[in-house]
Every structure is written in C-alpha cells, then in structure tokens.
Structure 1
Amino acid sequence: MDDPTAKAELLERQLGHFQPEGGSARPTVGEAPYGRLLSGIRGVRLEVTGVRAKFKYAAHRPSETQDRIAAGLAARGGPRDAAAGEHLERRRRA
C-alpha cells in the first residue's frame, strides 16, 4: 500500500484498535505529526495462520509495580483486562 490517504486510514484504524483511549494525533495527509512521515510507512496485509504467545505478568517486579499494573487493568476495564488481572493475582499468591 503506497497511497498516502489509504496509509493514513490504515494508521488511524490501528491507533483506534491499539490505543482506544486516544492520546495520539489523528493521521492526516499533509498535517503534522504523521503527514510527512506517511511516505516512509508501508501498509501490508498479513494472514495470521497461527499464534504462539508468552504471557508476562511482572512476576519478578516489586509488589508496588504489580499493584499499579493490577489497578490499571481494573480501571481500564478492557475486554480481557479482568482475566489478566485475575491471572496476575493468582500468580502473586502462588
């Protein structure tokens, strides 16, 4: 994908998915901060055929850090945040 408008739309969808709470400028052709950077971005469509995942739950971090992570998950309340928070708590008790 090389069209700047198409790349801006793709980038906007990705930002909306990965940063739903916002905090990023809207990608717009010709406008800062992404406008002049779009020429260096390539859009590629991939088909995922398998997933291997490793979950990290800050097991070796201080309890204050784990408390902050648990509180952040609870406050954010995303689709999988409750399950991640429960897993974090189980690992802390183990």
Structure 2
Amino acid sequence: MDYRHTFPAGLEKAIHDAYNQLSADDAQASFAVRSSATAEDMPDASFAGQQETFLNVQGYDAVLVAVKHVFASLFNDRATLLPRASGL
C-alpha cells in the first residue's frame, strides 16, 4: 500500500470528526487503532489478532497513518494465509 495516498473525503471526514469528539482537543489523548473486520470472528473459526493493532497513537496525523497500516494489514501474509490453510 502506498501510504502517501489519501482517504476518500467522506472517510477522512468521519475519522477527523471522531478524532475531535474523542480527543476533546486534548493534545495528550492517545488511541488504540485496530481492525474490526467481520471475518475475524466467524462461527466456525476465529482469526482474531491477524491484523495489526497500534496502541498509544497520539495526534490526528498519527491516527491517519495507523488506520492506513491497519487497512493494509487486512492483506498481509498472516491475514491471508491462515484462512486459506483453514479451507476458507
């Protein structure tokens, strides 16, 4: 993934609005940025923990970068090989 690319305007606005609401303009606010992919918890298998998680992320720009990394991790080796090996 090319991390220089920007998010679609609507998605970036949603992230920005949520960041502002959650941080309440506290420059020291920190966030956990993680996946909530529906395929992580299937009825017959659990693939939790296959995508990246970033803890103590501070600052709006850092949150955007972390979200890009989490999105990209949906396609990493861990996330794609385990379901295949499980026959899914």
User: Looking at both structures, which has the greater relative contact order when contacts are Cα pairs under 8 Å and sequence separation is at least 6?
Assistant: 2
Q: Whose helix fraction is larger, Structure 1's or Structure 2's?
A: 1
Give the TM-score band, short-chain normalised. Answer: under 0.3
Q: Whose strand fraction is larger, Structure 1's or Structure 2's?
A: 2
Normalised by the length of structure 2, the TM-score is 0.27
Query: Which of these two proteins has the greater Rg computed from alpha carbons?
Result: 1
